[in-house]
Amino acid sequence: MSAFRNPWLQSAEFKTGRIGPKSIEGQRAVVFFADTVRGPVAVRCLKEPLPDGAKRYLALRAYLADNPVAAITPAEWTEDGINVAEARWPIVTMERVPGPSLLTFVEKNLHEPLRLAQLAADWRALITELSRASIAHGDLQQDNILLADGQHLRLVDLDAIWIPPLAHMPAPAERGHRHFQHPKRTRRGYWGRYMDTFPALVIYVSLLALAADPGLFNEFNNDQNLIFSYKDLAEPGRTALWPRLWASPDLNLRNLVTVLERCCRTTAELAVDLDTLLGTAATGPKLVRSPPWLTPVPAQAPRVVIGRPIERDDAAQRRWKPEPAPQAPPSVVPMPVSPAREPPAPIVPGPRVPVPQPSRVPHPVALAILVVILVLAAALILVVVV
User: pLDDT-derived band of residue 74, with 50, 70 and 90 as boundaries?
Assistant: confident
How many CB atoms are located within 10 Å of the residue 85 CB? 5
Residue with the bigger pLDDT between 201 and 379: it is: 201
pLDDT for 1: 58
Could you tell me which residues are beta bridge partners of residue 73? none
102-319 fold: Transferase(Phosphotransferase); domain 1 (1.10.510)
Q: Which one-letter amino acid corresponds to residue 186?
A: T
Dihedrals phi, psi of 201, to nearest 5 degrees: -70, -40
Percent of the chain whose pLDDT exceeds 70: 73
Going by the DSSP 8-state scheme, the letter that residue 21 receives in this structure is B
**The CATH classification of domain 12-95, taken from the options 3.30.430, 3.40.50, 3.30.200, 1.10.3470:** 3.30.200
pTM over 0.75: no
Return the domain boundaries, the chain: 12-95, 102-319
Does 283 score more than 50 pLDDT?
no
Percent of the chain whose pLDDT exceeds 90: 52
- The average confidence (pLDDT) of the chain is 79
The predicted model gives 358-362 an average pLDDT of 48
pLDDT for 72: 94
Instruction: Select from 153, 339, 341 the least CA-distant residue to 237.
Output: 339
pLDDT for 331: 43
The β-bridge relationship of strands 23-25 and 29-36 is antiparallel
The alpha carbon dihedral of 157, 116, 205, 270 has a sign of: negative
Annotate 192-233 with DSSP letters as a single string.
STTTTHHHHHHHHHHHHHHHH-THHHHHH--SSSSS--HHHH
The predicted model gives 5-14 an average pLDDT of 87
Q: In whole angstroms, what is the distance from residue 220 CA to residue 203 CA?
A: 14
User: Could you tell me if 212 and 250 are in contact, meaning their C-beta atoms sit under 8 angstroms apart?
Assistant: yes
Does 11 score more than 80 pLDDT?
yes
